[in-house]
Amino acid sequence: MTHNKRILFVCLGNICRSPAAEGIFRAKAEARGLKLEFDSAGTGGWHAGEAPDARMQKTVLSRGIDIGNLRARKFSVDDFDHFDLIYTMDTDNLKNVLKLARNNADRGKVKMLLNESFPESNKSVPDPYFGGQRGFDEVCDLIEHAADNVLKRVVNEQG
Ligand code: 4NP
């Protein structure tokens, strides 16, 4: 039996970029009536159990999406079993996730998110944590663009 495609977003802390991606993709998928599952995780566990960074919550909320109920968790090797696609936000996250991959099937699930917007560029979603508001806006713009590309393709696949 087939299941709805499951997509995981991974960044470092799971409090800025990946929860924003989870919320933005979920809202856009729901708006298009697509049946997909989304989750997010961090390669580091320092913020596990925390809500998304208040600055990112506010930035995403200004676009009509509430991510206040999400809670950070650390990426686990079991995630390779549950998810069909694992999108990493930057090249460090990519390296750290690939280090945990057990085989080629695991490795084949891991992709850089921005390759959906800029194919084969391996561009990173910049870490906004130590910067100002512009960085948070830029992260959301990049994620929205990637989400539109991915979901357009899923619409074609799901019919
Ligand atoms: P994220 O951002 O990886 O997009 O969640 C960060 C969150 C926390 C830290 C760094 C980046 N930190 O150093 O605690």
Beta bridge partners of 85: 7
Judge if the beta carbon of residue 14 lies within 6 A of ligand 1: yes
How many angstroms separate the CA atoms of 95 and 116, rounded? 18
Ligand 1, from 10, 11, 12: best to mutate by most atoms within 8 Å of Cβ? 12
Report pLDDT for 1: 47
Name the closest-CA residue to atom 3, ligand 1.
12
Judge if the beta carbon of residue 22 lies within 6 A of ligand 1: no
Sheet holding 110-112, edge to edge: 36-42, 5-11, 85-88, 110-112
Catalytically active residues, by annotation: 11, 17, 127
CB 12 within 8 A of CB 93: yes
DSSP 8-class letter at 53? P
Q: Which positions ≥6 away from 136 have C-beta within 8 Å?
A: 16, 55, 56, 59, 128
Residue type, 6: R
Task: Read off the pLDDT of residues 30-66 as tens digits, 9 standing for 90 and up.
Answer: 999 999 999 999 999 999 999 999 999 999 999 999 9
- Which residues of the chain have a pLDDT value below 50? 1
pTM here is: 0.97
Report pLDDT for 125: 98
Report pLDDT for 3: 74
